[in-house]
Structure 1
């Protein structure tokens, strides 16, 4: 691989999600903040999602439950406020769950390519299929944030590096499988619902990235479609 292409292949894809925020959460500094007493605009929806009494009024217990969710997924500020970012994450989780075991129900990912890795940006889901047969997934992923969108279309895996480290950001990108310039599947050590998004890569849990590594090979097709919320 030439120097230009190799440099293109190391553009980092760490961080992705769902709601239009400009704050990147740092899991290492996600410490508990003071709880707010303010009722949020999505109070009832958030209460229902968390299994809290649905009265639409903020309580100390509500705040602590919301704050725990925010801290777990790197949502900032993590003050227990039921705002649009927090509800956006929850709403996405519900939509992902509703997909069940038929992620290609609409037939948007090609079924005439043999084994192919599909990425639905709208639902932040990925899976591997072989023809019409689901091989693995669907699993939640984190794709490019606004301005660093994961590019759509049909692509192929052209380079794999199990121990890749970004030479631009000096950040580990384990199980990297590059499919479009510097954009790759790779594991990321943070919540798959952590805002605001990656620098274009498709982030996965370590378990998922290992599975993709074992199921895919150089030359396999990748199809990316849809539009990530907030981009």
Structure 2
């Protein structure tokens, strides 16, 4: 009798161990399936068929037929514009960010060769670099004479606004590298704390903006470098859209 009880007990023990092992394997299998599903690469964003709130304006800007209806050709042209200027998501949607960049370009173009038509930049300082945050434009003038520009610039984003007011260039460093962000800042000309004119290797219409510096193309930054010197005035005014 005792022998039979011992055999029965051993069979129960083996059954429990088998159950635990099975449960353990199941517990491993389920997370693995979830893990594989999570790790699957996301599909590339496709071209949207939705008509955006600025459809007609975007179509007009891009030289497309203005009918206010999204088409495959409209989407392709809009996506190309978005990709060129770093606007995301790049799905061809005629939304507020895309139109905001286009509208800014229109305003910059309208400035022509008279960027200081409103007489907001001082004309009694001699040579001065002007920065209009509202239109994201900069130029150099000497009195009332336009010396260089206007050129599109990319100024500080929300939370890192380029500070307004009258300033002076106090330090120039041609091959500067940011000690904060560890990024190159060629043709740096500092005028307010860590804020400076310098070139940036991206579109000047790439949203949302810099960390406070006035970004320029390499061509324009080099031109500013050769035309400005330490002690020259810089005047920043206006307000960047979105800040």
Q: For residue 34 of structure 1, report the CA deviation from its aligned partner.
A: 1.2
Given the alignment, which residue of 53, 63, 79 partners 1:41? 53
- Supply the distance in 1 between the matched residues of 2:208 and 2:62 (Cα, whole angstroms): 22
| Matching residue of 1:214 | 226
| Matching residue of 1:102 | 114
RMSD of aligned residue pairs (Cα, Å): 0.7
1:81 aligns with 2:105: no
Q: For residue 33 of structure 1, report the CA deviation from its aligned partner.
A: 3.4
- Supply the distance in 1 between the matched residues of 2:126 and 2:239 (Cα, whole angstroms): 24
| Matching residue of 1:28 | none
| Matching residue of 1:143 | 155
| Matching residue of 1:168 | 180
- Supply the distance in 2 between the matched residues of 1:211 and 1:34 (Cα, whole angstroms): 41
Runs of 4+ in 1 over 2 A off after TM superposition: none
Identify which of structures 1 and 2 has the higher relative contact order when contacts are C-alpha pairs closer than 8 Å and 6+ apart. Answer: 1
Within 5 A, what are the aligned runs for 1:1-231? 33-231=45-243
Q: Which has the higher helix share?
A: 2
Q: Secondary structure at the match of 1:68?
A: helix
Q: For residue 168 of structure 1, report the CA deviation from its aligned partner.
A: 1.4
Is there any run of 5+ residues in structure 2 with no aligned partner, and where? Answer: 1-43
Q: Give CA-to-partner distance per residue, 1:41-61, whole Å, 9 cap, x none.
A: 000000000000101000000
- Supply the distance in 2 between the matched residues of 1:33 and 1:74 (Cα, whole angstroms): 14
- Supply the distance in 2 between the matched residues of 1:151 and 1:168 (Cα, whole angstroms): 18
- Supply the distance in 1 between the matched residues of 2:167 and 2:181 (Cα, whole angstroms): 25
| Matching residue of 1:9 | none
Is there any run of 5+ residues in structure 1 with no aligned partner, and where? Answer: 1-31
TM-score (norm 2): 0.82
Number of equivalenced pairs:
200
- Supply the distance in 1 between the matched residues of 2:45 and 2:147 (Cα, whole angstroms): 42
Q: Secondary structure at the match of 2:91?
A: coil
Q: Give CA-to-partner distance per residue, 1:187-230, whole Å, 9 cap, x none.
A: 00000000001100000000000000000000000000000000
Q: For residue 77 of structure 1, report the CA deviation from its aligned partner.
A: 0.4
